[in-house]
Amino acid sequence: MNKVKFIYNPFSGENAILSELDNVIKLHQASGYTIVPFRIDKDLDVAEALKDIDESYSYILVAGGDGTVDNIVNAMKKMNIDLPLAILPVGTANDFAKFIGMPANVSEACIKILESKPVEVDLGKVNDKYFINVLSTGLFTDVSQKTDVNLKNTIGKLAYYLKGLEQLPNFRRLKVKITSEGKVYDEYMYLMLVFNGQTAGNLKLATRADVSDGQLDVVVFRAVSIKDLIPLFIKVLKGEHLDDEKVLYLKTDDLLIECDEDIVTDIDGEKGPDFPLSVKCIKGGIKLLGIK
């Protein structure tokens, strides 16, 4: 029997994976796979889960949210592990898993994975770290980092919105310099996102993103007057914002982001590197199972 390394985060979402462990094992055994589980723990480096990976493993199955997937991807790249990756979306947001069409139901997701073949998709890379969904900086960027895990498990995505409201007194415009393909953009902005996927916080912001086109989608919300924000937000909800002059939008495989503001960066819900940010698209950087 071929082995599958099953890495699960018991703290993700509402601890949903804990009641599904038997289903995951049963479905894989029925398809001829032996599940080798690893439980993520706050006191363990996630790389520990990958130490025994060898030619007997067929793929790596991850149950968690975007941050969990991001940590596994970075560990795989650091350890030069080239196995296909499969995602069970049991986190709070699951933006990337939704983008590639993974069902929220764990059994349905397992079946889709087991019936699929590996597909090469792009990865983002910022300085020496990888991201599978989005790099962001600006206002509200660290909401996910600051939101208590117990609160997320209790009230889900609402916890992010409540934490975001706490940061409203810090609302201000920010200066950023973006260099890409010989062009320089000096902008005052509120928020900047660099997408490999399409959504952040369940908002579909990079509506034209393609995970296999070798490019990243850069979406910058310019610092406009407060009265212009509501009409812009309505356009976001309709998916019509990318052509608005209040948004800077470009596709690129290489950009430099410089900023002297006292702000942090975020990659898939985890703390990102400090400025300056050298961002690249790694075409075909990872193989995924279950992709639509």
CA distance 70 to 62: 10
pLDDT in tens, 227-247: 898 899 899 999 999 999 999
Six-digit token pair at 93?
């947001």
- Cα 105 to Cα 96: distance, rounded to the nearest angstrom: 15
Residue 151 corresponds to which amino acid?
L
Strand 265-267 and strand 270-271: the pairing is: antiparallel
Domains of the chain, residue spans:
2-116, 129-279
Apex 275 CA angle, 269 and 280, nearest 5? 70
pLDDT for the residue numbered 190: 92
Out of 91-95, 127-131, 154-158, 161-165, the most confident range is 127-131
Read off the pLDDT of residues 255-273 as tens digits, 9 standing for 90 and up: 999 999 989 999 998 889 9
Q: Determine the CATH number of domain 129-279.
A: 2.60.200.40
d(CA 137, CA 156): 23
Q: Domain 2-116 adopts which CATH fold? A: Rossmann fold (3.40.50)
pLDDT one-digit tens code per residue, 181-212? 999 999 999 999 999 999 998 889 999 999 99
Please, is 127 exposed, middle or buried when counting C-beta atoms within 10 Å of its C-beta (0-12, 13-18, 19+)? middle
Cis before residue 231, ω within 30 degrees of 0? no
Over its C-alpha atoms, the chain yields an Rg (Å, rounded) of 19
